[in-house]
Each structure stands twice: as C-alpha cells, then as structure tokens.
Amino acid sequence: MIIAYTIFIAFTHSITTPQIDIIDRMMAPLYPLIIIFSLFSIFAIINNSKFHKTLLILFAIVLIISLRFNFLLTNTYVKNLRSEGEGFTARIYQQSGIIDEIKKIPVDKNTISNSAGFVLFHTNRYPIQVDNFPNYSFGKGDTYGEIPFREENASLILMYSDFSNYYGEKSNQLLSALTHNLNIVYQDNEGGIYSYK
C-alpha cells in the first residue's frame, strides 16, 4: 500500500501540467501506514531476539521521549493558535474592524474582492473574485467585476496583505491607481472597502 501510494503520487506529479507541489498533506495518508508498519517490524525484531527485554525497555524509552517531544511541540502550537489565530482567524483581522464592516454590507448588495475566501469565511457570501486588477481607477473600464461595481454599486473589498502577496513590488503603485477617486467606505491596515463615486 505504501509503495502503491508513493508510485501514484510520483506518477501524477510527472504527468500534470502545471506540476503539482508535493506537500505534507499529500503525504499524510502514508504516515499511519508507516507507523503501523514500523511498530510491527519493531515488535517482530524484539520477539525474535535473545535480548528482547532490553530491546523492549529501549523501545519504551524512545517512545516516551518522542511522545514527550511531540507533546511539547503540539502544546506550543495550540497555545499560539489560541492566542494569535492563523489565516482568516488571525488576531490582526479579529482586532481590525474590517470583519465587522464587511458584515454590515447588505445581503442584497454585490461584493467584489481580491480575497473571496476571506469574505466567504466571515459572511457566508461569495463575492466576485478578481485577481487581475487594471492599472487605473477601478470601475472606469469594462474588465471583470468593473460593470457590477459601477452600475450596481457593488462594494469592492480589498485585503491588503493578499494584494501585496499577489502583486509584489508593484502592489503599492497599483493599489494607489486602483483606488484613485473611489469612495472609501472603510479602511485600516488590514483592508479597505470602497464604492464607486
């Protein structure tokens, strides 16, 4: 099973375009299989050895040390998550007023965002996702999302960290051109909500 899954991952990695990244989550199904296989192997070696009591004690010591180490790592990680959050639940977003302002937008009003996942997570409403913004005041042209923004008075929700990550060095210049002459409904360090003038 371990070999078959590894071959499957290698095969799909080699034939997909663009190539997928092999990350921890893709390898997660292997962890329980490897642990079970390792335990059976260790117990087989211990049972077939003359020094089986010594090996059993050594195995128990290694197991206790590894469990203690993993407990300390996990405990620290959980405490950090509880105090700081992560992703869409990070403390910077919780302490910012952006979430409350997004929730104040009427349900019948369309929203447009560069971070649709953030808006969906906090409001259970999926906005129009725009990734490639024009290099001029949003709403002046006819690119994706501009017509509802201009004609239906939709709200433009920009999450600045996502914007900066996506556009890199040119993000500040593009953000300034994009929001030029737009009405600022709400703005803080984490994001802004804009409407068409």
> What would the pLDDT profile of 27-71 be if each residue is shown by its tens digit?
888 888 888 888 888 777 777 777 777 777 887 888 888 888 888
Q: How far apart are the first and last CA of the chain?
A: 61
Name the domain boundary from 33, 60, 88.
Answer: 88
* Residue 1: count of CB within 10 angstroms of its CB: 10
Name the domain boundary from 66, 88, 110.
Answer: 88
- In a shared domain, residues 49 and 117: no
- In a shared domain, residues 135 and 54: no
- In a shared domain, residues 113 and 76: no
- In a shared domain, residues 70 and 131: no
In terms of pTM, does the model score above 0.75? Answer: no
- In a shared domain, residues 111 and 156: yes
- In a shared domain, residues 78 and 119: no
- In a shared domain, residues 69 and 109: no
- In a shared domain, residues 82 and 105: no
| Position with higher pLDDT, 168 vs 18 | 168
122-141 pLDDT, tens digit each = 999 999 999 888 888 998 88
Domain that holds residue 38: 2-88
| Position with higher pLDDT, 46 vs 112 | 112
- In a shared domain, residues 100 and 183: yes
Per DSSP, which regions of the chain are E strands?
111-113, 128-129, 155-159, 183-187, 191-195
Q: What is the DSSP letter of 28?
A: T
> What is the tally of structural domains in the chain?
2
Rounded to an integer, the average pLDDT of 185-192 is: 92
- In a shared domain, residues 75 and 128: no
Name the domain boundary from 33, 61, 88.
Answer: 88
- In a shared domain, residues 64 and 144: no
Helix residue ranges, H only, 85-137 = 91-95, 98-104, 116-123
- In a shared domain, residues 191 and 119: yes
Is the CB of residue 85 less than 8 Å from the CB of residue 94? yes
Tokens 């051109």, residue located: 177
Residue 15 region by backbone torsions, left for phi larger than 0, else alpha for psi between -120 and 50, else beta: alpha
